[in-house]
Structure 1
Amino acid sequence: IALARALVKQPNILLLDEATSALDNVSEKIVQEALDRACKNRTTIVIAHRLTTIQNADYIYVLDKGNVIEEGTHETLLAKEGGKYQTMIKMQQSEKTIGTQDGLMNMAKAIAEDEEQLLERVRQLSESEAVDTNRRASTAAREKSVFLRLMKMNSPEWMFILIGCLACVLGGLRGPVFSILFATIINEFNDCKYDDVRRRVMITSGLFLITGAVFLVLHFFQFVAFGIAGAKLVSRIRSKAFACFLRQEVAYFDRPENGSGAICTHLSSNAAAIEDMVGTRLGVICETLSLSVFGFVLGLFFNWQLTIIIAIPFVLLLIISIIQIRLSSWLKTQSDLIYSQASTLAVEVITNMRTVKQLSMEYEVSRQYTNMVDQVLIMFWKPEAMFSLVLGLYWAMDSATLGLLYWRALVLVEKNEMDMSDVVMISAFGMFALEALKMVGMLAERIGKSFAAAHAFFDLFDRTPTIDNGSNKGQELTNFSGETDFNQVKFVYPSRPTVLVLNKLQLSIKSGQRIALVGASGCGKSTIVQLLERFYDVTHGELLLDGVDIRKLNLQWLRSRLGVVSQEPVLFDLTIAENIAYGLENIPMDEIVLAATKANIHEFIQQLPQGYDTKVGVKGSFLSGGEKQRIAIARVLIRRPKILLLDEATSAMDPYNEQIVQVTLEQAQTEDPSRTSLIIAHRLSTIRSCDLIYVLEMGRIVESGTHTELVQKGGIYYTMLNTQNNGH
């Protein structure tokens, strides 16, 4: 597909950087033939470790440490005795051609049969996406006592919450106290004909100042207390969410909605949104409730009729605010689905920026991202228009309520049922109550988003992983030998439930054996490694280690006994020494150097200005593929694993380094006679010395034996070896 993508542009210059390095023999031959056809009538630059792929090149340059040390055609370089190119060719020509390629079609059989499942995969993928979308929507819609759970999580800060609530309760007296003082001073100015009016006004003015100072202190404690409690809760939720993500099984991250972009958005924006419900804004809500309770009690005491006039719009606005919160919560849930897809796209584009730029896809990916974001805009414009109408209603309600209140007050004053000061006091309270509720109304949208974010977090907290990476349960075998048995194992990936990857696999590995798995791409080799690491559980059958079902073993203990070197080495943005000792504590530098020396990377590290303190960059971006792989091998060797799993461990190396590292790996396998090794390889020259070789096809073992026995059989292994050697 990548080759087709390059050719559809009809390029004048074709750049091939290890285009067939990770392919099995049959696939390599098919792709190499396609590459040979693609190179016609265009300038082609080929980077290759497998020298058989460049024998037909017009000119070959041999590089060493950034300099060209040899150049010429394949024939001229091969004729140069003692030359670098000739040496590398001899390293790869470790076996002679055994026969012809008559069995090639038999080896390609698995690839051809896989095509029958292709349409089923596509259909299943689209169905799973639809099911996942419905599941997410229904899950987020579940009603839970979110607020109570948040308060429970916030319980360590109960002292701050108590102080904040006490400040809110006392702060709620602000409205009634101000209303009484306001009515008093109006009445005093009305009585200005009396001589003592100046003294009374000064006293009331002083009370205003004292009230302001008191509520300044109360609001300070309110916002500080709720601010601290909210910040600590958000930090706690982020930490717990990250820990929950780490607990999840690998299959959880195979689902499209759980991509890296979506998870990063979840940890950042969703956690921050929760603070709108439990931080300083919770103080505003509590103060509004306190103000309303005190104010209505005071109003009912002085005149129940005017208080009812204020209560009707108050209750109406309260209902509207609740509806607005629920609608905002639903919109937040729906928009998060879209934003998570957009975030995943952004992460994918940034991660593969070189490919995006090489294909000149900047405009296209920008268009895709914009279209995703625009979906949220389309979704929001109607609710936002309604919210705008509601906000307008909030502001209009003040005037309408006061108009109705003064009309009724006029009637009551005319009947001498109340005096002017009571009218002023109740109307002042009404303005305070409605203003406070307007503040809550304007926060309703953010509060609704907080509820949606909290729902999402609690869904994560409540999820029970099928394989709990944080569990301390399970057996720890005292004398673990590494004996492994796959007993009639069937397996399908959860993301592809209709594709049978392993089909009644029967495989036995004795302690201390060196076992190799070979076969066409997609036959299930790497799946076997992932099952041993318990990234997934078998769908049917048993996987036994020392006779114990792998599901009964302690997961952390199990993985500490495994050493894995995969086809794609994974390094972290740390120093080289930290990457080698990653996950281990108090490792002496001598052991790190020893492991690096065994992995043939020590000399390279010494040449770096900062040596072992050199940062490798994100995903090891500062290093070449071979250098990353050797550091990954050193990371395994320092752990002294009981079971060594090598999944194409030398696929990214040139012949010179491959031979040295291969010797190192063989030493690592044999230095402990009881160490069990499982090797996945496409280059059959690397597994000739294995105790047993299993040939897989369509998830089953079709041949097994030593190298010599399989060659004598003349079956699939013979054909694979023949095909590879004919390339030489």
Structure 2
Amino acid sequence: MGRFKENDLPKSKITASSLNKALLIFKYAAHHKWKFYVGLVFLLLTSVTALAFPKFMGMLVDCVNKKDAGLANEIALGLGLVLLLQSVFSFFRLSLFVNFTENTLANVRLALYTNLVKLPMTFFSHKRVGELNSRISNDITQIQDTLTTTISEFLRQFILIIGSFIMLASINIKLTIMMVSVVPLVGVAAVIFGRFIRKYSKKVQDQVAESQVVVEETMQGISIVKAFANEWYEIARYRDRIKEVVEIGIKGGQFRGYFASFIIICLFGTIVAVVWYGVQLSIAGEITVGELFTFILYSSYVGASSGGIAELYAQMQKAIGATERVFELLDEVPEKIDSSEHIPTINKIKGDVTFNNVAFSYPSRKEIQVLKGINFTASFGQKIAIVGPSGMGKSTIASLLLRFYDINSGEILIDGKNIYDYDLENLRGNMSIVPQDVILFGGTIKENIAYGKPNATEEEINIAAKQANAYDFIQGFPEKFETIVGERGIKLSGGQRQRIAIARALLKNPSVLILDEATSSLDSESEKLVQEALEILMEGRTSIIIAHRLSTIRSADQILVLDNGKISEQGTHQELINLENGMYKNLSNLQFSNS
């Protein structure tokens, strides 16, 4: 599918503005620019030797009339030298262009990834991961193909066309006029016809892809298909798709047949016409047989290059479009984060958190105010729980603390200092989050725990695992800490993933801890183990606990009840339970009556 998507890349018109933008790519070439320019010199030399080849061939053929074997030997040696030089020039041309491209695009890829990683959460909230991945893979591949071969081929074909026309005119102007009036027209017609057929082939590809979607959906949901006894329905659906593939494929075959007939009649007919006229001129003594032979070779250069140059131009349009899309991402303004490869020095904060009249709306839906005048204080070492119905802004409070988004009004203070006065790395370096849906990276358990402190010792990792109630289950794996967790931690259970996330947070030793519904999706046994680990994790630090299960927050120093973006109730578990008709009391009664 990667190749299929690549073929679908949109084109961009080649204008002075788009060319200037595309040329910015050379900024990333650093000290490798010279390789591109020297490559251009070898490209010119390759084209010149290619143009010399028909001339020598014609001279060799004329040796038949002259009956001069010695001259024929000399010309043959000259041809051999031309071919040798062309192969040497081609080697250096390709090597230099590939070297230049690989080094330049490595710099582009790194710059693009560095910028992406440092972009704020507002950017990721309206961009799909698949789209961003396509920019790094498909768009860069398109630029790579263009810098490696397309530009050099386009220039080579252009030089061959111009050079061939000059050589043709020098041989015989009458024959050149006749060739110019016919060959390019047939070449252009062949390109247009060929493009139409390619579009039709793409239609077949699309249809086949659609039929594969049916297969994929059926296989993924086979238990549902069988449970509903709908095998007949899926077979009928697939049969309809296959019928469409067959119909389009047959039509495409007919068009390819027409194209083959067109090539045979028009293209070869044109060659016959040029040769016939050349023979007439040769009989009349206006050109020699060798010159006619040379003329035919140059004509084939013009025909082949005219056909190829249109496709190369289309590839360059795609590359310019790809470059524009890559630079769109590079132009995005990143957060102020140091990207040098070192572990940042974190200045410890105490952990007093204050929200003063904070209001917030998400940038993607500014008309909906998620938080309205939020006020609360969490002193060092306190556990502050936030409860309330879904969609009321509980997780938003955590996002604002981590400065994923900017608040609309009010202020957030940490240790009495405005959150925006902190260095971003230092602020986040003092915080840790254990989310409901834990994301682990596809390495080992050890690497995932050490993500909280990349320079942690083996002993520190072991202690963190023990405190998180994770050590025993890790030791149960054959590879222990070197066990590969799989993509997003798929090889581990939900409770195991949570405990690794807790070990990761423990190792970081944050001043402010955010628990975002950390036990809501676990079974009773896992919840007990995770809750024990969380109690250890919360010791000696400020904890903001976002919870659905009220049983987990009874011991909180303060509970905030969020309703419609406002704090409707505030107090300890006992104080809120005593509120007549209070939301917390109703939520508590509902949960404990069902348990």
Please give the TM-score of this superposition, normalised by the length of structure 1: 0.65
| Deviation sequence 1:447-487 (CA, Å, 0-9, x none) | 44434433332332233358879699xx9995633333333
Q: Is the 8 A contact 1:476 1:553 kept in 2?
A: no
Q: Is the 8 A contact 1:391 1:442 kept in 2?
A: no
1:680 lines up with 2:520 in the alignment = no
1:606 lines up with 2:443 in the alignment = no
**Closer, same or farther: CA 479–603 of 1 in aligned 2, 3 Å:** closer
1:166 lines up with 2:37 in the alignment = no
**Closer, same or farther: CA 461–696 of 1 in aligned 2, 3 Å:** same
Q: Is the 8 A contact 2:190 2:263 kept in 1?
A: no
Q: Which residue of 2 is the match for residue 726 of structure 1?
A: 593
The structural deviation recorded for 1:653 is: 4.4
Mapped partners of 1:486, 1:721: distance in 2: 26
Q: Which residue of 2 is the match for residue 666 of structure 1?
A: 535
Q: Is the 8 A contact 2:40 2:93 kept in 1?
A: yes
| Deviation sequence 1:482-541 (CA, Å, 0-9, x none) | 333333333333444444322232333334432111112221111111121222222444
Q: Which residue of 2 is the match for residue 558 of structure 1?
A: 427
| Deviation sequence 1:546-587 (CA, Å, 0-9, x none) | 455544543322221111111122222222221111153331
The structural deviation recorded for 1:263 is: 3.8
Mapped partners of 1:499, 1:689: distance in 2: 33
Q: Which residue of 2 is the match for residue 95 of structure 1?
A: none
1:489 lines up with 2:358 in the alignment = yes
Q: Secondary structure of 1:515's partner?
A: strand
| Amino acid in the other structure paired with 1:643 | V
Q: Which residue of 2 is the match for residue 521 of structure 1?
A: 390
Q: Is the 8 A contact 2:561 2:569 kept in 1?
A: yes
Pairs within 5 Å for 1:404-415: none
Q: Which residue of 2 is the match for residue 176 of structure 1?
A: 51
1:200 lines up with 2:67 in the alignment = no
Q: Which residue of 1 is the match for residue 447 of structure 2?
A: 578
| Amino acid in the other structure paired with 1:243 | T
The structural deviation recorded for 1:634 is: 0.9
Alignment counterpart, residue 642 of structure 1, candidates 506, 511, 523? 511
Mapped partners of 1:687, 1:424: distance in 2: 93
Q: Is the 8 A contact 1:598 1:634 kept in 2?
A: yes
1:227 lines up with 2:98 in the alignment = yes
Q: Is the 8 A contact 2:348 2:430 kept in 1?
A: no
Pairs within 5 Å for 1:51-90: none
Mapped partners of 1:725, 1:699: distance in 2: 25
The structural deviation recorded for 1:601 is: 1.7
The structural deviation recorded for 1:170 is: 1.1
Q: Is the 8 A contact 1:711 1:717 kept in 2?
A: yes
Q: Is the 8 A contact 1:164 1:221 kept in 2?
A: yes
Q: Secondary structure of 1:279's partner?
A: helix
Pairwise CA RMSD of aligned residues?
5.2
Mapped partners of 1:352, 1:552: distance in 2: 52
Alignment counterpart, residue 616 of structure 1, candidates 469, 485, 508? 485
| Deviation sequence 1:90-144 (CA, Å, 0-9, x none) | xxxxxxxxxxxxxxxxxxxxxxxxxxxxxxxxxxxxxxxxxxxxx9999xxx945
| Deviation sequence 1:346-395 (CA, Å, 0-9, x none) | 99999999999999999999999999999999999999999999999888
| Deviation sequence 1:296-319 (CA, Å, 0-9, x none) | 444455555655665667877998
1:710 lines up with 2:581 in the alignment = no
Mapped partners of 2:263, 2:93: distance in 1: 26
**Closer, same or farther: CA 261–478 of 1 in aligned 2, 3 Å:** closer
Pairs within 5 Å for 1:104-253: 143-145=18-20, 147-154=22-29, 156-192=31-67, 197-253=68-124
Alignment gaps of 5+ in structure 2: 1-9
Mapped partners of 1:266, 1:431: distance in 2: 39
Mapped partners of 1:374, 1:319: distance in 2: 34
Mapped partners of 1:516, 1:298: distance in 2: 85
Pairs within 5 Å for 1:289-688: 289-301=158-170, 303=172, 306-307=175-176, 421-443=290-312, 446-464=315-333, 480-582=349-451, 584-655=453-524, 658-659=527-528, 661-671=530-540, 675-688=541-554
Mapped partners of 1:598, 1:660: distance in 2: 11
**Closer, same or farther: CA 343–480 of 1 in aligned 2, 3 Å:** farther
| Deviation sequence 1:63-103 (CA, Å, 0-9, x none) | xxxxxxxxxxxxxxxxxxxxxxxxxxxxxxxxxxxxxxxxx
**Closer, same or farther: CA 346–224 of 1 in aligned 2, 3 Å:** farther
The structural deviation recorded for 1:150 is: 3.6
Mapped partners of 1:217, 1:180: distance in 2: 20
% identity of equivalent residues: 29
Q: Secondary structure of 1:508's partner?
A: strand
Mapped partners of 2:365, 2:231: distance in 1: 31
Pairs within 5 Å for 1:35-54: none
**Closer, same or farther: CA 647–616 of 1 in aligned 2, 3 Å:** same
| Amino acid in the other structure paired with 2:549 | R
| Deviation sequence 1:233-253 (CA, Å, 0-9, x none) | 454444444334323333433
The structural deviation recorded for 1:698 is: 0.8
Q: Which residue of 2 is the match for residue 6 of structure 1?
A: none
| Amino acid in the other structure paired with 1:179 | P
Mapped partners of 1:567, 1:363: distance in 2: 41
**Closer, same or farther: CA 581–595 of 1 in aligned 2, 3 Å:** same
**Closer, same or farther: CA 347–603 of 1 in aligned 2, 3 Å:** farther
Q: Secondary structure of 2:570's partner?
A: strand
Q: Is the 8 A contact 1:259 1:344 kept in 2?
A: no
The structural deviation recorded for 1:627 is: 1.6
The structural deviation recorded for 1:690 is: 2.6
**Closer, same or farther: CA 502–146 of 1 in aligned 2, 3 Å:** same
**Closer, same or farther: CA 338–548 of 1 in aligned 2, 3 Å:** farther
**Closer, same or farther: CA 350–664 of 1 in aligned 2, 3 Å:** farther
Mapped partners of 1:579, 1:507: distance in 2: 34
Q: Is the 8 A contact 1:669 1:676 kept in 2?
A: yes
The structural deviation recorded for 1:588 is: 1.0
Q: Is the 8 A contact 1:160 1:228 kept in 2?
A: yes
| Amino acid in the other structure paired with 1:686 | T
The structural deviation recorded for 1:697 is: 0.3
The structural deviation recorded for 1:638 is: 0.8
Residues matched between the structures, number: 579
